[in-house]
Amino acid sequence: MIDSPKIYISCTETDQVECISLSQALEDKGFQVSLGILRGTTAYLHGLKDDGLPGESLEAIRQRKQSKLNEVKISSNIFLIVFSALSLTRKENQTYINEECEFALMTQERKKRDSFLVFGTIVCTGSKLISLSDPLYPKAISHLNPLRWYGADKVKNLENLITVIQDPLLLISHTSVSRPKRIKQGQELVISKLEIKNIKCFRELVIDFKHQQIDQWTMLLGDNAIGKSTLLKCIALGLCNASDAAALTRISDMNSEFIRAGETEGSITIELQRGKLSKNSRKKYTIITRIVKDAAGTSEEITQEAHASSPDEKFPWADIFVCGYGASRSQEADTSHERYKIFEAVQSLFSHEVRLQNPELILLRQDPEVRILLQEKLQSILMLDEADYQIDAGKTGLSVAGPWGKVNFNKLSDGYRSTTLWVLDFLGWLIYAGRLGDNNEIGGILIIDELEQHLHPRWQRNIVELLRRQFPKTQIIASTHTPLVAAGVADIEESCLLKLERDENNEIKIVTIDQAEIAGKRADQILTSPAFDLLTTRNNKSHDEVDRYTELLSKSAPTPAEAAELEQLKPLVQSRLTISETPIAQEVEKLLDESLQKIAHEYPPAILDIEAKKQLQALFAADDEDDI
């Protein structure tokens, strides 16, 4: 009798669905497979039905099950540890994986016979990448022959198994892999309305993204801890299916409780419609995601309803494309992907430990024509699109050539690195999802938290226009703390500025900022507008000096000490109250002020003030026209 190999697969609860599929595929080919799954802090043997003996304590049951699990591990020929990048985001999972590795190595040494430790990932590494749950995976398993598990074939079969786990497409390269069809531009779904009830800091919040047409840009403003990041997370959760939404809540950097304190149920309702170019743009689709506390009140469960525009229409999940990026987006992974999954494309919004796709792989895996397109878009967003600059994905890795020479990607500044990472990650998902339009136009939804991260003020001033130019058909929803980024949105017709603030009952409300409030204004003027509500942009010391100068100036009979203090403060205050921005404008303003003082007794102050402003405005308007 020929024994077929015994395989033990170990995984965390995050990856159990894929691993169960892998187990079944291996069993169909004659392998003896056991699967251990970590749930919480305890590993269980999948499929083991044992409720315990009469009078047996829970601890005794747990120990007996653990003993059974160890027996299975020791008796296995192949020890396969399967984990995804998501598994490693939890510290307890990292500890479990380390313990499994140590156990496998110890078993191999103790048995002094064939025992193999194989590492795999749910999205496998190699020149090609594929998920274990892909329908092509069983075809790769068919190359294995467990009935000839002896002699030279044993080594060959093991090599095949390892190859399948590491790079399945190498074994099925003769099979044509179907790529998703390109989405016809204008058919993608975009958000027209969002309603949040009893989620975190929000009791009830409604945002209408549709005025005359769907807004291309929505910028969120508001103080720290007012709920901007939570709102962006709610959008991502509401666009996922129920299982993915539940997984995102588990990896969230926020605590696991999304329901508002004191409530037992919360909901996220998202209304979508087709892009404005579609003939069916008036059709509406709704996803209602409910988060409910269990009977014990210790955990939260997610349910979902999805409604199409008519009873006989199936909800078009495949037409939803969304990517989301949290404030921490500077870490890259060693792998890329083959297929788009919403869960993976938005998870950096929920955990700062998530790594984005490898930018070099994204570029290298494209046809030359597409690669050039991606590089051009990236260089434009990085403001490196002049002839002196070149991005290259070569044998030595991703590099940027410029006046400074050729610099490896990993040595670039944080601004260039983080922006390159998230932009190429987004472009990679677009390609995997077939979202490049017929004219290389890009649709879908892009969510970015704290858009200004690591950007110099000059870059902040241009980033909105740069993204609008490269992604003109994409619905972008972002947050910012800076006036320069906010000002960029005011120049876009199809856009809105929304500010989160607290009302008189300490509840979060949404306020629409009139774009005229910030259009054409300087950064300091925007900071003192309703968009940011600062009383002054001066530092505290300057503000106190101006107040003291005003106080002394108003005294009809100042003391000698006060008069001396007034003279001391006068030049300081005048320099800080200048309205001009550039050094030459400030010098002209100073000279004008000195001239006005000489003739102040001849004309009313109001007339002098108006005439001075008119002359300054005319002077610097002419300078602008002549590019001086």
pLDDT-based confidence at 277, cuts 50/70/90?
A: very low
Domain 189-527 homologous superfamily, CATH: P-loop containing nucleotide triphosphate hydrolases (3.40.50.300)
Q: Which two tokens stand for residue 292?
A: 């409910």
Query: Dmax of the chain from CA atoms?
Result: 118
Residue 397 half-sphere exposure, CB side, CA atoms within 13 Å? 9
Beta-bridge mates of residue 265: 292
**82-118 tens-digit pLDDT:** 766 566 666 777 777 777 767 766 766 665 444 444 4
> At a CB cut-off of 8 Å and minimum separation 6, what does 499 contact?
220, 221, 222, 510, 511, 512, 513, 530, 531
**25-84 tens-digit pLDDT:** 777 767 788 998 888 778 888 877 656 667 777 788 778 888 888 888 888 877 777 766
> At a CB cut-off of 8 Å and minimum separation 6, what does 369 contact?
none
Whether 389 contacts 379, CB under 8 Å: yes
Q: Considering the chain, what percentage of its residues have pLDDT values greater than 90? A: 23
List helix spans (H) across 144-296: 151-166, 228-239, 242-251
What fold does the segment set 6-170 form as a domain?
Rossmann fold (3.40.50)
Long-range contacts of 496-499 (CB under 8 A, 24+ apart): 496/209, 496/211, 496/215, 496/217, 496/218, 496/219, 497/219, 497/221, 497/531, 498/207, 498/218, 498/219, 498/220, 498/221, 499/220, 499/221, 499/222, 499/530, 499/531
Q: Which two tokens stand for residue 206?
A: 């409604």
Three-class DSSP category at 255 = coil
Give the DSSP H or E segment for 625: helix 605-625
Backbone φ and ψ of 402, nearest 5°: -155, -165
Q: Count H helices, E strands: the chain?
A: 18, 19
pLDDT of residue 120: 44
Q: Which two tokens stand for residue 625?
A: 């026209």
Between 575 and 494, whose confidence is greater? 494
The sign of the dihedral angle between the CA atoms of 602, 608, 614, 616 is positive
**249-274 tens-digit pLDDT:** 888 865 568 999 889 999 999 999 98
